[in-house]
Structure 1
Amino acid sequence: MNRPYFFYGTLRHLPLLEAVLGHEVVATPAWLADHALYWVKDRSFPILIEEPGTRAEGILVTACSESDVARMDFFEGGFGFSGRVMEVMRHDGAVEALVFHPEACAHHCERGGVWMFEQWQQQFGAEFVAMAKDYLAQFGLKPPRAVAARFEQILARGASRVRAGQAAATTLRHHAASGDVTVAALREPYARFFAMEEIDVSFRRFDGSMSPQVTRAGFIACDAVTVLPYDPLRDRVLVVDQFRAGPYLRGDPQPWQIEAIAGRIDPGEGPEAAARREAVEEAGLALTDLLPVASYYPTPGCSAEYLYSFVALTDLPDAVAGVFGVEGEAEDIRGHLISFDRLMALVGSGEISNAPTILTAFWLAQNRERLRGG
């Protein structure tokens, strides 16, 4: 029997459901009596809880093909959600429908506050729709749990895709149009916290023809922020000192780096909010005024990473320097208070050797007189 499906959580968002299924969907309003929705604590999706006297709003989809069911099972199955036949209400009466029920999550997920669909749409809706493209690209290639284990990384990439859609104007560079890039194959040979992707691709040449098919690989890192706290009264900055794998793997005998505060933009978070959060985590600083320096690809030839760099005007008394970091992420970060002149000397000597900090230091040098005057 081809039962209808009832969607109450993220898949209630029709653009997401259509992205998962790969086609347009016709749905009608429905609800599940004596059930309520709560956020899974510190996550971006809800959990269904049995609660007398309440109702969980959702949508009912009546025509689901075998392919639809397989794609839904892949999308939900990795999180321990499985279809359960339940009585669902609609305006013309009750109907039996399959409901993805949190079998595993019900036992180990901590409940947060009441989940509001409209709030989720505003904060996460576009990111989830963008994420679905990358998530479903693994359908038939990897087991559901292996993909679900990287859900937060895939969602953060979806958020990066949303921001990438707001690209700057094209006044000099080639203005890309539909068909200017064609991908014949996509492979993901490595995927953990970061990922590597390999594509067989052709692109439009400047003479109007398409290039031969070539293979290109890229390091998939999500959008991130850097922020350099600057005290214009004391004319000094706070920089952080930490071990970095990149210099070590290059063979650098001094792999500790002097940097601006930095970190990934989490799903549902904007660049400024991420900068403020990272300042608390890495330096114990509560920032207010953030001045944008630049947004840019640090290494576009081989990496998808995109950075938003800021200078923060803030008070930096002697006591703010210390050792910080998120313990669960094995961070061990030491803050240094240094004068502006020392900052520029370190850039000049090469001891500061990472692009975001150098770029930000030069921006500060250009704007320092104005900031101190203000």
Structure 2
Amino acid sequence: MDVFVAGALCLPEVREAVLGAGDIDAVPATLPDHRLMLCGPAAHPALVWQEGDRVDGLCLRGLTEPQRAALTYYHRCFRQRATSLAAETGTGTCEVVAFRDDAPEDGTPVSLAEWVQEWGAVAARMAAEIMAYHSRKPAEEMTKSLAPMRRRATAWCAARARPADPAHDLARDVVVHAHKREYVNFFAMEEMDLQHRKFDGSMGPVMNRGVALVGEAAVLLPYDPARDCVLLIEQFRAAIYIAGEAAPWTWEPPAGLIDPGETPEQAARREAKEEAGLDVPHLERVGSLYPSSGSSGEYIHIFCGLADLSVIEGGGGVPSEGEDIRSKVISFQELMAGVDDCTFQDMPLVTAALWLARHRDRLRAEFC
């Protein structure tokens, strides 16, 4: 039986990630009494029954059993199940297998063309990561990883969109011999066997390297120029505890991962409100950088936020995210003493503090 697909699978790059390279007999088709809706944690278009509506898609013919199994796995990761329906093609009506969400917990109607323009590249990146775990991890477990996977895919696409280095041609100067995805959950681990061109012009040896993939994050150091003080938060950090740190409660600025579709500035303000109870009307960009380029792909946007630190309402973090946070306000002199004494363990805090030391006089002159 033919298979009807819609949504992300209308994109050739997504179909290739799921079904493999090669020609697929794909015929334009329409499925009556259905609509596309953004559903689930990954906000992907899903087929949902809706009397009187119609969804344009593709009818895939002549698929092999492994290809059918791959399609089933991909759809089940998005909580979509197979059902037999009748689709319309240019040659008439035919019975097809279609995958749909029969119990959407939420959802909004979506235009595929508009969704593809904004999220098509992200969907292709997600499809490649999902299918790397086919036959290795149950689809139901992958469902739990879709939201952070979408965040990582968004960050990957943003990295690819940044200006290239004119001194290096990635297509010529980096050769990937193997790409392995070894772990996926809230974070992900990937490995590559690769070579890169050396400064003498020759290719270096094949080496194995791994990376922890997180996404992009926003950091905001709140500063009150009138009172010449900053706000810091303290919380338990499991990562450094796992690494063996004897003092895993750290003082740091409010920070958090950027959600797909959110700007760094929006994320910084959201985190300041959630973690410190602050409204921050003015942001100063400190920098955007990789804090540990030898092992992590996390890319952080650091800001200094000008705020009235005499008015703090709420904060403390989001309990559903396991956050238990307290805050304190310290003087600029105390902040710099902590930097000089090597008291602080958080690199973005030290980076923001040193930036503030360079720009403090200007900020006080402009905003006091």
Shorter-chain TM-score tier: 0.7 to 0.9
Tell me the distance in 1 between the aligned counterparts of 2:140 and 2:64: 23
CA contact (8 A) 1:124 1:268 kept: no
- 1:311-330 matched pairs, under 5 angstroms: 311-320=304-313, 323-330=315-322
2:87 aligns to what SS in structure 1? strand
Name 1:4's counterpart in structure 2: 2
Cα offset for 1:265? 1.8
Distance 1:152 1:41, change over 3 A: closer
Worse-superposed segment, 13-22 or 121-130? 13-22
Name 1:85's counterpart in structure 2: 84
Cα RMSD for the two superposed structures: 2.7
Cα offset for 1:336? 1.8
Residues 198-219 of structure 1 deviation map (CA, whole Å, 9 limit, x = unaligned) = 3333222223332222222322
**Matching residue within 291, 294, 297 for 1:298:** 291
1:110 aligns to what SS in structure 2? coil
Name 1:361's counterpart in structure 2: 353
Cα offset for 1:327? 1.1
What TM-score do the two structures reach when normalised by structure 2?
0.87
Check if 1:280 corresponds to 2:273. Answer: yes
Tell me the distance in 2 between the aligned counterparts of 1:284 and 1:126: 35
Cα offset for 1:100? 1.0
Q: For residue 15 of structure 2, what is the amino acid of its counterpart?
A: L
CA contact (8 A) 1:21 1:68 kept: yes
2:168 aligns to what SS in structure 1? coil
Cα offset for 1:91? 5.8
Cα offset for 1:59? 3.5
Name 2:162's counterpart in structure 1: 167
CA contact (8 A) 1:42 1:112 kept: no
CA contact (8 A) 2:30 2:87 kept: yes
Check if 1:193 corresponds to 2:153. Answer: no
Name 1:236's counterpart in structure 2: 229
Worse-superposed segment, 156-165 or 137-146? 137-146
Tell me the distance in 2 between the aligned counterparts of 1:201 and 1:28: 39
Tell me how many residue pairs correspond in the alignment: 365
Worse-superposed segment, 19-28 or 178-187? 19-28
CA contact (8 A) 1:27 1:59 kept: yes
Cα offset for 1:223? 1.8
Q: For residue 59 of structure 2, what is the amino acid of its counterpart?
A: L
Distance 1:189 1:111, change over 3 A: closer
2:43 aligns to what SS in structure 1? coil
Cα offset for 1:122? 4.0
**Matching residue within 243, 248, 261 for 2:254:** 261
CA contact (8 A) 2:258 2:267 kept: yes
Tell me the distance in 2 between the aligned counterparts of 1:276 and 1:22: 42
Q: For residue 278 of structure 1, what is the amino acid of its counterpart?
A: E
1:178 aligns to what SS in structure 2? helix
Name 1:124's counterpart in structure 2: 119
Name 1:139's counterpart in structure 2: 134
Distance 1:117 1:190, change over 3 A: closer
